[in-house]
A and B are shown apart, each in its own frame.
Chain A
Amino acid sequence: SQQGEEDPQALSIQEGENATMNCSYKTSINNLQWYRQNSGRGLVHLILIRSNEREKHSGRLRVTLDTSKKSSSLLITASRAADTASYFCATDTGNQFYFGTGTSLTVIP
């Protein structure tokens, strides 16, 4: 399987703290994306980073990509209770998308 893995599986932080989650993948990629899922609902796209990019920002989100290590990290700054959700990375090889196993983030008010 070419499925990626997120680390940690679960993360619990206080509101206002930063949350960092990591993703490792197995093959060469075109892009890497991060998605958010609330309570078994459909995934929502957060941010995309291309294979020739090393870092990207969007609001309170910061994504890094290290293609030599086949890894990415997602940083959520100044977390809020509403950020409580599961976060998935997804790699794109052109035709197929491979999702990681997800990080469950709980932000405590």
Chain B
Amino acid sequence: EAQVTQNPRYLITVTGKKLTVTCSQNMNHEYMSWYRQDPGLGLRQIYYSMNVEVTDKGDVPEGYKVSRKEKRNFPLILESPSPNQTSLYFCASTAAGNEKLFFGSGTQLSVL
């Protein structure tokens, strides 16, 4: 089954404790991206990647890191999480030129 898999689904952590949210897709998509969703603000893009070893900042990249060492994986790294990063996070992917995004099920992150 074609899918984007995010883990974990829920995560509670404390300020300053490094964490990684994983994202993997099995559709051989070139494009992958991360979003955060906050009430009243919709989805905002954090980082995106057009292909392996190519990453770029989205609208709200501060406090986040990403890497794209393999085509299927695009982890989101919070090196020193802060409470304002409490949010619902989504990973998404699409084939080059396809434009239709496939979303993961989301990761609800709470930073205390």
Contact = CB atoms under 8 A, between A and B. Distances in A.
B101 interface: yes
A60 interface: no
Given A40-B88, A40-B106, A42-B105, A101 B40 contact: yes
Given A40-B88, A97-B33, A101-B40, A33 B99 contact: yes
B50 A95 contact: yes
Contacts of B88: 40
With a 10 A CB-CB cut-off, give which of B42, B58, B90, B100 has the most chain A CB atoms.
B42
B48 interface: yes
Interface in A86-102: 88, 90, 92, 95-102
A44 B56 CA distance: 24
B101 A97 contact: yes
Interface in B5-54: 33, 35, 40-45, 48, 50
Contacts of B74: none
Interface in B80-112: 88, 90, 92, 99-106, 108
| Interface size range on B against A | 20 to 34
Nearest to B57: A96
B34 to A, nearest CB: 11
A101 B99 contact: no
A45 interface: yes
Interface in A25-75: 30-31, 33, 35, 40-45, 48
Give 6 closest A-B pairs by Cβ, nearest first.
A42-B103, A99-B43, A101-B42, A43-B103, A45-B100, A99-B42
7 contacts: A1-B59, A40-B88, A43-B90, A43-B101, A88-B42, A98-B45, A102-B42
Interface of A: 1-3, 30-31, 33, 35, 40-45, 48, 88, 90, 92, 95-102
